[in-house]
Amino acid sequence: MSDYLAVGWVVRATPCTHDYLVQVPGRTRLICVQLADAMTRLAGTSSIGLLTEGTPVLLWAPSRDSARGVILGALPSVMQGLVAPEAVFQSPVLFYLLSQESGAAFWSESAYLRPATDPDNRNKLLANSQRPGDTLPGDWGKLNHFGAGFALLGLVAQLRASDRAKVEVHLLDDLVRLVSGQYQHFSALGESHVYNDGGLVSAEFAGSPHQAEVAGTDGYTEAGIFEQTDRGQNYLSSGVKLRNELQTLKRRLQVFAGSLGDLLQVFIGNPGAGTETYDKLTAIQGLLHAHKIGRAHV
């Protein structure tokens, strides 16, 4: 028997094992795996991403009678659309070109600003296989329906979750642009936070020049922070966890700016002995308090 190519649709996608059950019209369902990207072998990388149930696919099998096959790829939107898979070969082609949540652009969220029922709203139009309409030849990227994704677009590389949560690196001027509505940075020096509390914006920093204090202890030892547990048959767990999940850093230096700090306040203190936790902060001996730089208390 010769090799066999067929069109079907995914009726079951299994996490962890990454296998699929695919229905091919006129025959029994096949157990399939998905063709791997060559980069997984060349660079030793791990590839993630399961096709959703209902996705039309092109598959290969050793013979027409084979019970197993390999998915070569997902078919373009002219064959799918967000509709019941049973209608794949019956409904008009144009119906499948319209997606109610297309995510039609990499650079904006305009596809969600007008109702899907608006007959003049063409942001729902997909050219082919979930490809946005504002890309140019040579562009490459992945973007989901929520607007999260990554892209190589001409002279720009972008990692984004929304218009207000993204990182861009530009070839021109060696520009790095970080855009965030709220911001958290955990570093060897401490923690930095920027947040918007109902329109009241604040920035906060807490840290220490001592690595052990940033870890929340008086002296840094791995045994004092982590412990090994018996994970049994749970192979998705590392078996290593914090001794105290509420453990936090010792705040030798604290800076509050914006609404929370009444414009600006700086605190320097001497943390007490013991492990620092969120639910029971140790006493801190105050050494310096500066408010709005106008006055200081030592």
Q: Which residues in 34-60 are b (16+ Cβ under 10 Å) and which e?
A: beeeeeeeeeeeeeeeebeebbbbebe
Extract long-range pairs of 18-26: CB within 8 Å, 24+ residues apart.
18/50, 20/51, 20/57, 20/71, 22/57, 22/59, 22/69, 22/71, 23/85, 24/59, 25/89
| Residue pLDDT, tens place only, 164-184 | 899 999 999 999 999 999 999
Rounding to the nearest 10 degrees, give the CA dihedral for residues 231, 234, 237, 243: -30
CA distance 118 to 110: 13
The yes-or-no verdict on residue 289 having pLDDT over 50 is yes
Q: Which two tokens stand for residue 177?
A: 């642009």
Say if CB 254 and CB 266 are below 8 A apart: yes
CA distance 83 to 117: 16
CATH of 4-90, one of 1.20.1050.140, 1.10.287.810, 2.40.170.20, 2.40.50.140: 2.40.50.140
Q: What number is the average pLDDT over the span 16-23? A: 89
What's the Cα-to-Cα distance from 155 to each of 139, 151, 230, rounded to whole Å? 10, 11, 49
Domain positions in the chain are: 4-90, 110-180, 183-297
Degrees, nearest 5: CA angle 287-201-186:
60
| Residue pLDDT, tens place only, 228-257 | 666 666 656 666 666 677 888 899 999 999
Q: Which two tokens stand for residue 282?
A: 């140790």
Closest CA to 143 of 154, 129, 125: 129
Q: What is the pLDDT of residue 184?
A: 96
Name the percent of the chain lying above pLDDT 70. Answer: 66
CA distance 77 to 124: 12
Which stretches of 49-102 are DSSP H helices?
A: 93-97
Say if CB 272 and CB 284 are below 8 A apart: yes
Which stretches of the chain are DSSP H helices?
A: 39-42, 93-97, 211-214, 222-225
| Residue pLDDT, tens place only, 108-141 | 455 445 555 555 655 554 444 455 556 677 778 8
CA distance 54 to 79: 11
